[in-house]
A and B are shown apart, each in its own frame.
Chain A
Amino acid sequence: MSGRVLVGVKRVIDYAVKIRVKPDNSGVVTDGVKHSMNPFCEIAVEEAVKLKEKKLIKEVVAVSCGPQQSQETIRTALAMGADRGIHVEVTGKDYDTLGPLQVSKILAALAKKEEAQLVILGKQAIDDDCNQTGQMTAALLDWPQGTFASEVSLENDKVKVVREIDGGLETIKISTPAVLTADLRLNTPRYATLPNIMKAKKKKIANVKPADLGVDLTSRLEVLRVDEPPQRQAGMKVETVDDLVVKLKDAGKV
């Protein structure tokens, strides 16, 4: 076992930014807008670093796919305690259409190349809410998956995962190598502090092209239109239940 964990980190628009749709409805405005690491990816990095601090794994490798700026996201992961980074360069049109299918192919290729024992990802990104990359990566690798993890423990060559599901919590035990996706309550990510930010400046980030990994970036999806959510209409107050039934019948709802 290599004792190596691959962590995927995505650069997304910061959660606190008010999103604006482009005038041509082709997408959202990203130019000049504050970006940061996807919050679920932060949780994934934190979990990997915790495993290393417990000496259960040896090395944490942070991976990000995107343009030059993705390196900043990798540096943040390095400052949180990742050992080295891999920047998979994807720019222009390819970056615009980059989605879970392409990223999972890239991660699968890297997981094999790096002989990773675990791939830990955030459960979903806050920009597209896809919640697919972890699952697709596991399927491409034919590895078991522990998704929506709120607790992870390594026991020899198995992983015990407590999953947050609609009905409550489900505990599973899966073999390694495996893919895990982090849910909100898995941990509280640490802040990158100044000494670690400085040390991260001297850590290595390798540059890789998708073609080097034999990955085809062609998208099977085409975004037709992006709209803002409809404005919330004002509601109506009624005095009695009978009034309510009348109003519902008038509106053709009943």
Chain B
Amino acid sequence: MLPQFFPPRKCCQFIQKVFKLQSRALVSDSARADEHIRRFIRDNTQVCRDQSLTPQIQLRLFTPSCRFWRESPELWPFGDPYWALYWPGGQALCRFLLDSPGECRGKAVLDVGSGCGAGAIAARLCGASRVVANDTDPVAAVAVRMNCELNGVVPPVCVTDNLIGSEPEDFQVILLGDMFYDDALAASLHSWLDRCIRSQGTKVLIGDPGRSQFEDFSSTNVLQRLAQFELPECVREENYGLTCSSVWKYCP
């Protein structure tokens, strides 16, 4: 396809120009998709603060004045919006981090199942040197970036591959906010976390409000309670049955 009469240097420049145009087209496609999702998140969530254990963190979440508070769930066009709720387990973890900034300061932090990204935001606010937010939902990645902007922090790297079960990387801290709600998920976390700790010496911090699957996990002597928080009335109303949320260090 190379025209025969162009000298070699001009060919290279020509090819480079074509590649630049193509990659710009790719970037603008994904930027357009991103912009569409951003607009959707803006239209269907509200900026919330004060109604959680961490009033200093603002997040875009479902509230009674949002369309999908009452709308038929079939009309939701994306995957399950775990990111649109500030789960009590995550709230406790973030509260703990903000109270003890030394846990993340200068460290490489991985927030697994980051959802709204509160854990990643808290890590940034504490001066973490490197933050990665991991959630398999690409819409969550957009939500995390928007929530970081709200709080004036640099967005973390957002990874949508399922890192649970993957080769452990050199993170000094792994955050797990309210992730022990499903038997299969809890089991896969258990074995992967063991590997991370063994090979990288990672510190694993878990925030949990007493989910049943976590109770099973914690029945063996591998957890050290670092903090316990009473849930405020507004959180209790939205999470009937939960009264407090704790932070644990996993030490197998």
A15: B residues at CB distance < 8 A: none
Which residue on chain B has the smallest CB distance to residue A191? B72
Count residues of chain A with CB under 8 A from any CB of chain B.
18
Decide if B69 touches A206 in the complex (CB within 8 Å).
no
**Chain A residues numbered 166-189 whose CB sits less than 8 Å from any CB in chain B:** none
Answer whether A198 and B181 are a contact pair too, CB < 8 Å, given A83-B240, A193-B73: no
Is A158 interfacial (CB-CB < 8 Å)?
A: no
Decide if B181 touches A202 in the complex (CB within 8 Å).
yes
Answer whether A194 and B81 are a contact pair too, CB < 8 Å, given A201-B181, A206-B212: yes
8 Å CB contact of B76 from A59, A81, A194, A204: A194
Answer whether A198 and B239 are a contact pair too, CB < 8 Å, given A191-B72, A193-B70, A204-B212: no
Decide if B71 touches A194 in the complex (CB within 8 Å).
yes
B76: A residues at CB distance < 8 A: 194
Is B35 interfacial (CB-CB < 8 Å)?
A: no
Is A195 interfacial (CB-CB < 8 Å)?
A: yes
B53: A residues at CB distance < 8 A: none
User: What's the nearest-Cβ distance from chain B to residue A177, in Å?
Assistant: 21
Is B68 interfacial (CB-CB < 8 Å)?
A: yes
Q: Report the separation of the CA atoms of residues A203 and B81 in the bound assembly, to the nearest whole angstrom.
A: 16
Please name 7 further chain A to chain B contacts, defined as beta carbons within 8 Å, in addition to the given A52-B240, A201-B82, A204-B211, sorted by A numbering.
A83-B241, A194-B69, A194-B81, A198-B84, A199-B239, A201-B80, A201-B182
- What are 26 A-B pairs at a CB distance below 8 A? A83-B240, A83-B241, A84-B212, A193-B69, A193-B70, A193-B71, A194-B62, A194-B69, A194-B76, A194-B81, A195-B68, A195-B69, A195-B84, A195-B85, A198-B80, A198-B82, A199-B238, A199-B239, A201-B80, A201-B82, A201-B181, A201-B182, A202-B178, A202-B181, A203-B241, A204-B211
- Give 10 closest A-B pairs by Cβ, nearest first: A204-B212, A202-B181, A194-B73, A194-B68, A195-B62, A83-B241, A197-B73, A194-B76, A193-B70, A198-B85
Contact surface of A with B, Cβ cutoff 8 Å: 52, 59, 81, 83-84, 191-195, 197-199, 201-204, 206
